[in-house]
Amino acid sequence: MKARDILPLALLLGALALTPLFASNLLLNFLVSALIIALGAQGWNLLGGYGGQLSFGHAALFGTGAYATAILQTTFGVNAWVGFACGIALAALTGWMIGFLSFRARLRGSYFALVTLAFAEVLRILANAAGFTGGAAGLLIKLEPSFANFQFASRAGMLWVVLACILGVSLLTLWIDRGRFGAQLVAVRENEDAARALGVDVLATKLRAIALSGAITGAAGGLYAQNFLYLDANIAYGTWISVEVLIAAIVGGLGTVLGPVVGALALHGVGEVTKGLLGWMTGVDLMLFGVILIAAVAFVPAGLVGALRRLRMRRATP
Question: pLDDT digit string (tens) for 65-117?
Answer: 999 999 999 999 999 999 999 999 999 999 999 999 999 998 989 999 999 99
78 within 8 A of 96, measured Cβ to Cβ: no
Tens digit of each residue's pLDDT (9 = 90 or more) over 121-141: 999 999 999 999 999 999 999
Of 9, 249, 32, the closest CA to residue 161 belongs to 32
C-alpha to C-alpha distance for 264 and 202, rounded to whole angstroms: 30
pLDDT recorded at residue 282: 65
Which of helix, strand or coil describes residue 151? strand
Calculate mean pLDDT across residues 290-316. Answer: 84
Class of domain 3-316: mainly alpha
DSSP label at residue 230 = E
- For residue 119, give the amino acid letter: F
pTM reported for the whole predicted model: 0.95
What pLDDT was estimated at residue 317?
Answer: 67
Write out the DSSP string of 277-303: HHTTSTTHHHHHHHHHHHHHHHH-TTH
Distances (CA, A) of 262 to 11, 41, 131: 12, 10, 38
